[in-house]
Amino acid sequence: MWIADEWKEYEVIDTSKGEKLERWGEYILVRPDPQVIWDTKKVHKGWKKPNAHYHRSSKGGGEWEFFDLPKQWKISYKELTFNLQPFSFKHTGLFPEQAVNWDWFSEKINSVKGRQIKVLNLFAYTGGATLAAAKAGAAVTHVDASKGMVTWAKENAVASGLADAPIRYIVDDCVKFVEREIRRDNKYDAIIMDPPSYGRGPKGEIWKIEDNIHPFIQLCTKVLSDDPLFFLLNSYTTGLQAGVLSYMLSVELKKKFGGQVIADEIGLPVKENGLVLPCGASGRWEK
């Protein structure tokens, strides 16, 4: 398992009964987590006095209960700074477990001398991976179907001192964008994608990961340069385990470019017991 264990301003304090107790900077949140199926004692005082608690509904969805939490605040990871706020379905605008992938590809980008690496970040959300790649020296094209998420990513770039970094922000359906890039003969040295399980594009395009992810990987290989550096695929969907990610990347990338594929779970350390909370899986291809 790849563990994001270099955070200073974020931590999973404890987990129990379908929930996780987290510290985001100076604020304590309780949020649901479907991986937490164990029933351990909630000893830590944060369980009784969080700054906010997201309560999941038995009918689907849920709502926040606020005690003492600002509308927006910031936390940092190394040289990056992120704006956070509680919004729809338990989210805060950041997936801290992805830091382990940021570190991996930042090292890959830094290792290349003599040319600027062009990175395509698809389903790019609020820009965690975009900022990490830009900080490492890459030119990044950031694509997301949500105008609000792209605006948030721009704000994170400003907070991280990357307002003038070579980042191109695109509000578009990711599949449609890649199809156009193929027609334009635009190429990238690396691709990052963090696809949702289900979603809709700006014009109502339906995305269902089990049906669409493999054809999309095939499509994306057509915008890779002749000497690509890496391809990162993330999944939070239960059915798409690490082995499935590895299989798809191996079939589509090793056949065409050689290199190697490795896939594993990603996770976050839990402070109270020293164990690790699983947080999905990632597949990595590298030349």
| Average per-residue pLDDT for the chain | 95
- pTM for the full model? 0.94
Evaluate whether 11 touches 275 at the Cβ level (below 8 Å): no
Domain boundaries, the chain: 2-84, 97-286
Q: What is the pLDDT of residue 57?
A: 87
Give the residue from 16, 161, 199, 3 showing the smallest Cα distance to 96: 3
- Residue 201 in this model has a pLDDT that exceeds 70: no
Locate 285 and state its tokens.
């291809």
150-192 pLDDT, tens digit per residue, is 999 999 999 999 999 999 999 999 999 999 999 999 999 999 9
3-class DSSP state for residue 117?
A: coil
270-283 mean pLDDT: 96
21-68 pLDDT, tens digit per residue, is 999 999 999 999 999 999 999 999 999 999 999 999 888 789 999 999
What is the C-alpha to C-alpha distance for residues 233 and 253, in angstroms, rounded to an integer?
Answer: 12
8-33 mean pLDDT: 97
Would you say the C-alpha torsion 281, 228, 123, 181 has a positive or negative sign?
negative
Evaluate whether 193 touches 220 at the Cβ level (below 8 Å): yes
212-232 pLDDT, tens digit per residue, is 899 999 999 999 999 999 999
What is the C-alpha to C-alpha distance for residues 128 and 148, in angstroms, rounded to an integer?
Answer: 15
Give the residue from 238, 260, 237, 241 showing the smallest Cα distance to 250: 260
What is the C-alpha to C-alpha distance for residues 153 and 82, in angstroms, rounded to an integer?
Answer: 9
DSSP E strand boundaries for the chain: 2-3, 10-16, 19-24, 27-32, 52-56, 62-66, 73-77, 80-84, 118-122, 139-144, 167-171, 190-193, 198-200, 206-208, 230-235, 260-269, 276-286
Q: Angle between the 174-184 and 209-220 helix axes, to the nearest 10 degrees? A: 20
pLDDT-above-70 percentage for the chain? 99
198-211 mean pLDDT: 75
226-251 mean pLDDT: 92
More confident residue, 209 or 64: 64
Q: What is the pLDDT of residue 202?
A: 64
- CATH homologous superfamily, domain 97-286: Vaccinia Virus protein VP39 (3.40.50.150)
Level-2 CATH architecture, domain 2-84: Sandwich (2.60)
Q: What is the pLDDT of residue 60?
A: 79
- Residue 139 in this model has a pLDDT that exceeds 90: yes
Q: What is the pLDDT of residue 274?
A: 95
